[in-house]
Amino acid sequence: MIRLYHAPLSPFCRKIRLSLAEKRLEVELVEERYWERDADFMRRNPAGKVPVLKMDGKLLAESAAICEYIEEQFPTPSLMPQAPEARYEVRRLVSWFDDKFHHEVTSKLLYERVNKKITKAGYPDSTNVKAGAKAIKFHIDYMAWLLDQRRWLAGDVMTLADFAAAAHFSALDYISDVDWNRSPTVKDWYAKIKSRPAFRSILVDQVSGFPPPQHYADLDF
Amino acid sequence: MIRLYHAPLSPFCRKIRLSLAEKRLEVELVEERYWERDADFMRRNPAGKVPVLKMDGKLLAESAAICEYIEEQFPTPSLMPQAPEARYEVRRLVSWFDDKFHHEVTSKLLYERVNKKITKAGYPDSTNVKAGAKAIKFHIDYMAWLLDQRRWLAGDVMTLADFAAAAHFSALDYISDVDWNRSPTVKDWYAKIKSRPAFRSILVDQVSGFPPPQHYADLDF
């Protein structure tokens, strides 16, 4: 049995949930109050953060390393192309979203609005929220530019890059922080990915104190 | 010809330089004043940061994606093991250093002491410097614990994980921020890696206004 210690809105956890679901691997989800850093959790991952995946009796941390491991152990259906150039582009975009987008957008919107309240770390910093709301526009435009040339973000097949991006966007959509009117191209991309069976578990997530807006789970948003 | 747009003390650039040198791939180094974000540079990498590698006529960004690409295109000598579990451990540790160590140590010591001055971004924040000096002790202890069980960080062969770690440590050693007396095990590991031919270009780096200490290039430090 595969077990994922996770937080429902964590984009890094969602990326792994999407990968597992796409490969039809069943996973037991265990919600982790990671900010309390209790001894059991710190033993599972000395880095003190989610996701932590329990698989084949081992505990795995770091979402990028976990996703590559899942891919190598369960190569079908594939989320990574075969050619080195195409694999590079997937990995570049995964880093783009998990590093740059995370820093400029997710941490400034989701973490300010939701994580701070859940972890009792104070009130949202409005300077950060404004910066995040501004930065997401640049990122949507960049995605629209990519998607004008390709069917999916990294090329003509769906890859881990799409799941990395969709993990962030779905978490932000949960708090209505994505303006889907900015780009019909990006909206179409999200509609395609949202309607995949792999997305179902993401769409029924509920975070106490933060009910999702109606459009969140709606495939025709 | 391979060209690397880089900054001499950037651990992400150094990791790539080490990988290329280990594989005996010649590279032309072009120092990039990335903080000026001039138009040419932003065209090379819309993320606005180094490293950017020019290879096979293409411009590549994001050091993790670049290193995997180099590995796939030039698999010998190998910096990645073959078994998925072993590959996972390499990638986990690369993320550990490039994400956690970078955030807790490198950004708080090197960026405060050196980058801020070079980019004219103000004075070192002493709270950050203190936090970085404290955090590096924890990381050295963690490495010593790993190296008590293994010859190299991720297992019994040298991998990209060692280069990722050595890239950070060498940059911090340039400003004398590594206490080599804390762990003979970690010191031995660094002495082994420092004496490799691949390390030579790193040891002759010079940053204007910041002369390296004498022990920096000394193989018997």
- Comma-separated ranges of CATH 3.40.30.10 domains in chain B: 2-73
Among B63, B92, B99, B139, pick the best mutation site for testing chain A contact (most A Cβ within 10 A): B92
For residue A44, what pLDDT is reported?
86
Fold that domain B2-73 belongs to in CATH: Glutaredoxin (3.40.30)
Element housing A27 (H / E): strand A27-31
Task: Report residue B11's pLDDT band, with 50, 70 and 90 as the boundaries.
Answer: very high
Fold of the CATH domain A84-196 = Glutathione S-transferase Yfyf (Class Pi); Chain A, domain 2 (1.20.1050)
CB B191 within 8 A of CB B218: no
Mean pLDDT (whole number) for B154-176: 98
At A212 the pLDDT is 96
Q: Which amino acid is at B174?
A: Y
A95:B60 CB<8 A: no
Confidence of residue A45 (pLDDT cuts 50, 70, 90): confident
pLDDT at B100 over 90: yes
Tens of pLDDT, residues B20-38: 999 999 999 999 988 888 8
Nearest CA in chain B to A63: B92
The token pair that represents A83 in the structure block = 């050619």
Q: Is A119 on the interface with B (CB under 8 A)?
A: no
For residue A64, report the phi and psi dihedrals to the nearest 5 degrees: -65, -45
Chain A contact for B42 (CB, 8 A cutoff)? no
Residue contact A88–B100, C-beta within 8 A: no
* C-alpha B27: how far from chain center: 16
Give the rounded percent of residues in chain A with a pLDDT score beyond 70. Answer: 100
Angstrom distance (rounded) from CA B199 to CA B88: 25
Q: How confident is the model at residue B127 (pLDDT cuts 50, 70, 90)?
A: very high
Taken in order B128, B146, A34, A65, the sign of the CA dihedral is: positive
Structure tokens at A183: 């780009």
| Partner residue facing A91 (CB), from B68, B92, B99 | B68
CB spacing of B62 vs A142 below 8 angstroms? no
pLDDT mean over B166-185: 98
CA distance A99 to chain B (A): 9
B44 neighbourhood in chain A, CB within 8 Å: none
* CB atoms A47 and B84 under 8 Å: no
Instruction: State the average pLDDT over residues B97-125.
Output: 95
Burial readout B162-192 (b: 16 or more C-beta within 10 A, e: otherwise): bbbbbbbbbbbbbbebbebeebeebbebbee
Q: Which one of B46, B73, B92 has the shortest CB-CB distance to A62?
A: B92
Q: Measure in Å the smallest separation between the Cα of B30 and chain A Cα atoms.
A: 21
CA dist., res. A2 & res. A27, Å (int): 5
Query: In this complex, is the C-beta atom of A42 within 8 Å of any C-beta atom belonging to chain B?
Result: no
Instruction: Work out how many CB contacts closer than 8 A connect A with B.
Output: 65
The residue among A146, A136, A73 whose CA lies nearest residue A100 is A136
Q: Which of B46, B84, B142 sits opposite A73 (nearest CB)?
A: B84
Q: At A154, list the tokens.
A: 């990294």
CB contact under 8 A, B85 and A58: yes
Residues of chain B with CATH 1.20.1050.10: 84-199
Q: What percent of chain B has pLDDT over 70?
A: 100
Q: Report how far residue B185's alpha carbon sits from residue B138's, in angstroms, rounded to the nearest whole number.
A: 14
Q: Give, in words, the CATH class of B84-199.
A: mainly alpha
Enter the tokens of residue B79. Answer: 């910096």
Judge: A100–B61 Cβ closer than 8 Å, yes or no: no
* Closest approach of B96 to chain A, Cα-based (Å): 8
Mean pLDDT of B89-115: 97
